[in-house]
Amino acid sequence: MHSIIRIKKHKSIASLKSRENHTYRRRETPNADPAKLHRNKLLYGQENYSAAADNFLQEYSSAGNKIRKDAVIAVEFLLTASPEFFDEGPKNERDERLKKWCEAQIEFMKKEHGEKNILCMYLHLDEKTPHLEAYVVPIDNRGKLNCKGFYGARNALNQLQTRYAAHNNVFGLQRGLKGSRATHQQVQKFYEQIKQPTKVNNENLQKAVKLEAPALKNILNPDVYMKEQEAKIYAKVARLFASTVYENKIIQQAKKILREWKRAEADAEKLKYKLESEKEALQEKLNRQTKAIQNLEQLQSDKNELQKQLSNAQIEISLMKETLSPNSKFK
């Protein structure tokens, strides 16, 4: 079983607000079960974490600190583990394990980013696998907004994975592996193999120990006949039970492939999470561009109106000049 941690960077309050709507299911969440919504709960920090981040940035700026336009203002964490970690044992054991695991995740985030910099830690129990969403402001030990100082290095995320696995080792969780060795070819080979062995059952066993009808020569020489029949029966039974041993090996292979598929599923969830994040970022960018186009269109409209007013004003000025001219015919 593996510990799983992923991060996403947020560069705007609007992006955080979008995630907040996801956190509290204010928008449709296909993987979530509405009947289990009541089980979700806030474990640490504030519910309205986008507003909390906004207030923090205003205080940070008021203190004379500059915030770059492309600065990461918050980091989102997804904390979870292999599904079987949460599923093993009776309900009371699962509940107690989940409680201790949640407490350990809060300790980890405090250790990583400091208690005062955690905006929110929220537990989701309405999806297939329990998981925590955590949001922090990346303030370094100098008191500066500095996400790059935490996750800018090339191997920073690998080191985060290692620290997280070490922290959760007490639960028997290990560091996740990169990629997955579970392939279509392996599974196809497995299905081909399980079709081959002969199953040991009563019917096949009776066939294996059944004596062949003796010929006349066998009746005249019963000792030779019995030895031949004994050898044949021994070979048939050996093949039957050899297939049982073979099946045990197949079962072990099946378990291995199942583990690999679970890893592949976790990788797929990770990719989905990344794609959702990229989609939200693109949507946010599209919204900004749409707004900019709308503003540009409004400016163009205002420009045309001003030009029209300017043209009218110029006509009025010309008329006034003609009226005030000494040679004007209007005198």
Q: What is the per-residue pLDDT for 286?
A: 83
- ∠ CA 81-82-86, nearest 5°, is 80
SS3 letters across 23-79: HCCCCCCCCCCHHHHHHCEEEEECCCHHHHHHHHHHHHHHCCCCCCCCCCCEEEEEE
Distances (CA, A) of 276 to 28, 81, 176, 180: 13, 20, 22, 22
Strands 2-10 and 174-175: parallel
| CA-based radius of gyration for the chain | 36
> Six-digit token pair at 111?
């250790």
Is-contact 15 284, C-beta < 8 A? yes
Nearest CA-CA partner of 122 in 26, 236, 54: 26
Is-contact 80 4, C-beta < 8 A? yes
Nearest CA-CA partner of 87 in 51, 130, 52: 130
CB under 8 Å to 26, separation ≥6 — which residues?
20
How far apart CA 72 and CA 320 sit, in angstroms, is 60
- ∠ CA 166-176-76, nearest 5°, is 80
CB under 8 Å to 17, separation ≥6 — which residues?
50
> Six-digit token pair at 52?
């909390």
Q: What is the DSSP string of 139-199?
A: B-TTS-B-HHHHH-STTHHHHHHHHHHHHTGGGT-EEPPSS----HHHHHHHHHHHTSSPP
Tell me phi and psi for residue 119, to 5 degrees.
-80, -45
Q: What is the per-residue pLDDT for 182?
A: 43
pLDDT along the chain (331 residues), means of 10: 91 93 89 91 93 93 89 94 89 92 96 94 93 95 92 89 93 71 47 48 66 71 76 71 55 67 72 77 82 83 83 81 67 51
The CB density around residue 38, as the number of other CB atoms within 10 Å, is 9
Q: What is the per-residue pLDDT for 240?
A: 63
Q: What is the per-residue pLDDT for 181?
A: 46
The amino acid present at 212, given as its one-letter code, is E
Is-contact 51 73, C-beta < 8 A? no
Q: What is the per-residue pLDDT for 133?
A: 95
Angle between helices 91-113 and 156-167 (to 10 degrees): 140
Q: Residue holding tokens 């990629």?
A: 179
Q: What is the per-residue pLDDT for 209?
A: 65
